[in-house]
Protein backbone atom coordinates (compact mmCIF):
# COMPACT_ATOMS: atom_id res chain seq x y z
CA UNK A 1 0.00 0.00 0.00
CA UNK A 2 2.91 2.33 0.69
CA UNK A 3 4.03 1.99 -2.92
CA UNK A 4 0.58 3.07 -4.09
CA UNK A 5 0.70 6.07 -1.73
CA UNK A 6 4.18 7.01 -2.93
CA UNK A 7 3.14 6.72 -6.58
CA UNK A 8 0.05 8.81 -5.93
CA UNK A 9 2.13 11.45 -4.13
CA UNK A 10 4.53 11.51 -7.08
CA UNK A 11 1.68 12.09 -9.53
CA UNK A 12 0.09 14.77 -7.34
CA UNK A 13 3.42 16.58 -6.96
CA UNK A 14 3.99 16.45 -10.71
CA UNK A 15 0.48 17.74 -11.42
CA UNK A 16 0.87 20.55 -8.88
CA UNK A 17 4.18 21.58 -10.40
CA UNK A 18 3.44 21.26 -14.10
CA UNK A 19 -0.35 21.30 -14.30
CA UNK A 20 -2.59 18.85 -16.10
CA UNK A 21 -3.00 20.17 -19.63
CA UNK A 22 0.43 21.20 -20.87
CA UNK A 23 2.71 18.57 -19.34
CA UNK A 24 3.63 15.12 -20.55
CA UNK A 25 2.68 12.37 -18.10
CA UNK A 26 5.31 11.35 -15.56
CA UNK A 27 7.09 8.02 -16.04
CA UNK A 28 8.40 5.74 -13.33
CA UNK A 29 12.18 5.53 -13.71
CA UNK A 30 14.58 3.02 -12.21
CA UNK A 31 15.69 5.71 -9.72
CA UNK A 32 12.07 6.23 -8.63
CA UNK A 33 11.65 2.49 -8.15
CA UNK A 34 14.84 2.31 -6.09
CA UNK A 35 13.67 5.20 -3.91
CA UNK A 36 10.23 3.64 -3.37
CA UNK A 37 11.67 0.25 -2.48
CA UNK A 38 14.08 1.85 -0.03
CA UNK A 39 11.30 3.97 1.53
CA UNK A 40 9.13 0.94 2.27
CA UNK A 41 12.01 -1.12 3.65
CA UNK A 42 12.36 -3.78 0.96
CA UNK A 43 15.55 -5.79 1.48
CA UNK A 44 18.53 -5.11 -0.76
CA UNK A 45 18.36 -8.62 -2.21
CA UNK A 46 14.72 -8.30 -3.23
CA UNK A 47 15.28 -4.74 -4.47
CA UNK A 48 18.03 -5.95 -6.78
CA UNK A 49 15.74 -8.66 -8.18
CA UNK A 50 12.94 -6.16 -8.77
CA UNK A 51 15.29 -3.64 -10.38
CA UNK A 52 16.66 -6.32 -12.70
CA UNK A 53 13.15 -7.40 -13.70
CA UNK A 54 12.13 -3.76 -14.18
CA UNK A 55 15.05 -3.12 -16.55
CA UNK A 56 14.47 -6.33 -18.48
CA UNK A 57 10.76 -5.71 -18.88
CA UNK A 58 10.71 -1.99 -19.60
CA UNK A 59 14.20 -1.45 -21.04
CA UNK A 60 14.19 2.28 -21.91
CA UNK A 61 10.42 2.63 -22.30
CA UNK A 62 9.46 3.37 -18.69
CA UNK A 63 5.80 3.00 -17.65
CA UNK A 64 3.56 5.96 -16.98
CA UNK A 65 3.06 6.31 -13.26
CA UNK A 66 -0.71 6.71 -13.64
CA UNK A 67 -0.96 3.26 -15.21
CA UNK A 68 0.55 1.70 -12.10
CA UNK A 69 -1.92 3.27 -9.69
CA UNK A 70 -4.84 1.24 -8.40
CA UNK A 71 -7.29 4.05 -7.70
CA UNK A 72 -9.84 1.76 -6.03
CA UNK A 73 -7.25 0.40 -3.64
CA UNK A 74 -5.95 3.88 -2.90
CA UNK A 75 -9.44 5.29 -2.27
CA UNK A 76 -10.35 2.36 -0.02
CA UNK A 77 -7.19 2.89 2.01
CA UNK A 78 -7.89 6.62 2.33
CA UNK A 79 -11.41 5.79 3.56
CA UNK A 80 -9.99 3.37 6.17
CA UNK A 81 -7.62 6.09 7.39
CA UNK A 82 -10.49 8.59 7.72
CA UNK A 83 -12.60 6.06 9.60
CA UNK A 84 -9.69 5.28 11.92
CA UNK A 85 -9.25 8.98 12.72
CA UNK A 86 -12.96 9.36 13.39
CA UNK A 87 -12.97 6.35 15.71
CA UNK A 88 -10.07 7.84 17.69
CA UNK A 89 -11.88 11.18 17.92
CA UNK A 90 -15.04 9.48 19.20
CA UNK A 91 -13.03 7.51 21.78
CA UNK A 92 -11.32 10.70 22.95
CA UNK A 93 -14.64 12.52 23.25
CA UNK A 94 -16.22 9.61 25.10
CA UNK A 95 -13.29 9.48 27.50
CA UNK A 96 -13.55 13.20 28.22
CA UNK A 97 -17.33 12.92 28.78
CA UNK A 98 -16.85 10.05 31.22
CA UNK A 99 -14.48 12.12 33.40
Asked whether residue 9 falls in the same domain as residue 43, the answer is yes
Taking each helix axis as running N to C, give the angle between helix 30-39 and helix 2-18, from 0 to 180 degrees, rounded to the nearest 10. 130
Asked whether residue 51 falls in the same domain as residue 82, the answer is no
User: Residue range 25-52: average pLDDT?
Assistant: 84
Cα end-to-end span (Å), the chain: 38
Q: What is the pLDDT of residue 15?
A: 66
Q: What is the pLDDT of residue 60?
A: 76
Asked whether residue 12 falls in the same domain as residue 44, the answer is yes
Domain carrying residue 62: 2-68
Asked whether residue 45 falls in the same domain as residue 86, the answer is no
* Residues in the chain, overall count: 99
Asked whether residue 78 falls in the same domain as residue 40, the answer is no
91 falls in which pLDDT band (50, 70, 90)?
A: very high
Asked whether residue 77 falls in the same domain as residue 42, the answer is no
Asked whether residue 63 falls in the same domain as residue 77, the answer is no
Phi, psi of 20 (to 5 degrees): -85, -40
Looking at the chain, the whole-number percentage of residues with pLDDT higher than 70 is: 72
Asked whether residue 59 falls in the same domain as residue 31, the answer is yes
Q: How many domains does the chain have?
A: 2
Amino acid sequence: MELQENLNAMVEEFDATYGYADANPVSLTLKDLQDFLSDVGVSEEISEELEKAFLEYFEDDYPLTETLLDSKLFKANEQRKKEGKLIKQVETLQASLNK
